[in-house]
Chain A
Amino acid sequence: MLSIKNLHASIEGTPILRGINLEVKAGEVHAIMGPNGSGKSTLASVLAGREEYEVTEGEVFFQGKELLELSPEDRAREGVFLAFQYPIEIPGVSTTNFLRTALNQVREYRGLEPLDAVKFLSLMKEKMALVEIDQKLLSRSLNEGFSGGEKKRNEIFQMAMLEPVLSILDETDSGLDIDALRIVSNGVNKLKSKKSATIVVTHYQRLLDYIVPDFVHVLYKGRIVKSGTKELALELEEKGYDWIKEEVDSTATV
């Protein structure tokens, strides 16, 4: 489904990603871990099409299409969803209104009729249950005055509504207490399907107790330096990142 080949990206001339290679197949969950500043969030942003990052080398194929050639909105319409680490506030625009605009633009792109208000509402009710979100929250201005947990839950709710093919969760666990973490993870798990894939970007192993990955990759200095199964995450939890840093840095100097 997703094939990243030798991806290099920089911001204002500073290289952040230095040759990422990753294959993600439908039905899989991949965790991207790594110390702060290793490029985890940059990878998520580059895949979603954030303009500040300049791709200097490499290719990304998403369902056979060259992802990097597409505008951010077309990537979303093709089924790429990014759950933001810091969801953005839009005053005066309710989540409901926002999502209705988004969903209908996605549907239009896919050659589907727009959903009328009644159908949209019933879809919303169905998805609200998944992430245990209150309807009152959805009629408030998007993310404005939301707590950290409410923001993240709202992200997963949007994901449920838009039914993406590839979901990228960028540090979705940050700022969540244990109950919110459980609710958010449950939502993500319920949305998993054989046809879709998930990339979980996280610093801590904690989230992976709830969203169990098929593969774990460690990102360091803009490269994937180690890949394994969920046992790797547990090892990292126990030993921290230093041993990996040492391993990589020593081979680099040799």
Chain B
Amino acid sequence: MSKDNQILEDLNSKEYEHGWSVNFETDEAPIGLNEDIIRWISTKKEEPHWLLDWRLKAFKIWQGMTEPAWANVNYPKMDLQALRYYSAPKQSNKPKNINEVDPELIAIYERLGISLNEQKRLQGIAIDVVLDSVSVATTFKETLGKLGIVFCSFSEAVKEHPELVKKYLGSVVPMTDNYYAALNAAVFSDGSFCYIPKGVRCPMELSTYFRINAANTGQFERTLIVADDSSYVSYLEGCTAPQRDENQLHAAVVEIFAGAHAEVKYSTVQNWYPGDKEGKGGIYNFVTKRGICAGDHSKISWTQVETGSAVTWKYPSCILKGDHSIGEFYSVAVTNNYQQADTGTKMIHIGKNTKSRIVSKGISAGKSQNSYRGQVQVMKRAQNARNFSQCDSLLMGNQCGAHTFPYIDIANPSAKVEHEATTSKIGEDQIFYCNQRGIATEDAVALIVNGYAKEVLNQLPMEFAVEAQKLLALTLEGSVG
């Protein structure tokens, strides 16, 4: 056992690899949060009046709210007045297309392994990149435009497609929803917007890549995806941040709207800076993600691989309003060292014959705490609703914790709800078996963990799945127990 303990102590031999930051000229809002700051942001972004009013209304609501404390996480409260709510790289002129983007910015993303050069990209992925508070580039815009697909930064959407933004903004996650959603509504700076017209199958993966660069800056982006009737889109989200001693706040909102027979697949590989071995620094990831299956036979599928952040508080949910609509949630959440994750989903069955499926795989190592929190709600009208939930926890070592909080709320007797949960430990037997075949311990852990998470990883688009596998191995490096 002594050797195991030693390996346990030896946690995290590999450091966070995206922990660097770059100095460049920025446009910044003054530190602090008040109405003037909100006006400042709105002016900076040359926003229409209705949007400023919307923000100010959200701010008023937020002022009357208190930070939620029900999640199974512990962290020192953040001083929200000490944050900066807007930071953007200075670009002399707004770039019209990718070729006009500051090469220095492009270089940042190259360093993260994301090429913004359309020709260089082998895979058909259109990408919108968000650095601190603003979207800096969107690729493949013209190709998509020919199909009538709108894929651009949120700010651009406000200018070019105000009718769409006005119609859907806040329709899935209202500003009154929760503390962080209200804060986001008041101060959000940018994000991605996507509209898939009726009957169009988006030919490539759409992707947003978020990066926090500036210090003492919160990132509050908003993503809005609208899939009109009978359309299909697969959307990817990736994120990293520099290594900093202080905690940084990331409070995003994602809204998805799916019309009749539409399908949206939303995949996230979250790799925010998790803090150091002693639990210092790291991102607070307080995110509200929700989709509505508004039309009959629509489908929304969330897949997330959560490896980063110091504290995660995130429940991608589905409102199954349309009859025969389907909601899915596939999640792998890994915590190591002092990371804390409280994540899960909500499936709200409103329509008839609606189905939902939840597959959650938690992996805890080090001194981390990993909680699954999920709600399955079947409303009175939801005849023949079906839910299947599977929540598995994998423990590595004996200093970490795994918790499961399922909430089931049924108002229609025809509902069929199944819940399965397991907890297991990576066995010394399993590792020895691998060793005996010539596989090194680190690789054995990666193999076992990837096997455990396979059902979820299989949901990711191919190139993302490979990345996610590597990320899992990296996050757990040296944490055998």
Contact = CB atoms under 8 A, between A and B. Distances in A.
B432 A98 contact: no
A106 B443 CA distance: 13
A210 interface: no
Given A51-B432, A88-B429, A105-B443, A158 B437 contact: yes
Contact of B439 (A73, A82, A92): A73
Contacts of B474: none
Q: How large is the interface on B (under 10, 10 to 19, 20 to 34, 35 or more residues)?
A: 20 to 34
Contacts of A103: 438
A72 interface: yes
B430 A92 contact: no
A93 B436 contact: no
Contacts of A98: 434, 437, 447
B453 A84 contact: no
Contacts, number: 77
Interface string A74-107: 0111000110100111111100011101110110
B40 interface: no
Given A51-B3, A73-B440, A88-B430, A141 B435 contact: no
Given A88-B427, A102-B438, A105-B443, A72 B432 contact: yes
Contacts of B438: 73, 76-77, 102-103, 105-106, 109, 162
Contact of B450 (A72, A93, A158): A93
A87 B455 CA distance: 23
B413 interface: no
B435 A73 contact: yes
B451 interface: yes
A193 interface: no
B428 interface: yes
Candidate in B437, B438, B454 with the most chain A CB atoms within 10 angstroms? B438
Nearest to B4: A51
A213 interface: no
Nearest to A52: B428
B455 A92 contact: yes
Contacts of B427: 88
A39 interface: no
Contact of B428 (A51, A73, A97, A141): A51
Candidate in B439, B448, B452 with the most chain A CB atoms within 10 angstroms? B439
A49 interface: yes
Interface in B396-453: 427-430, 432-441, 443, 447-448, 450-453
A92 B437 contact: no
B392 to A, nearest CB: 10
Contact of A105 (B439, B452, B454): B439
A102 B432 CA distance: 13
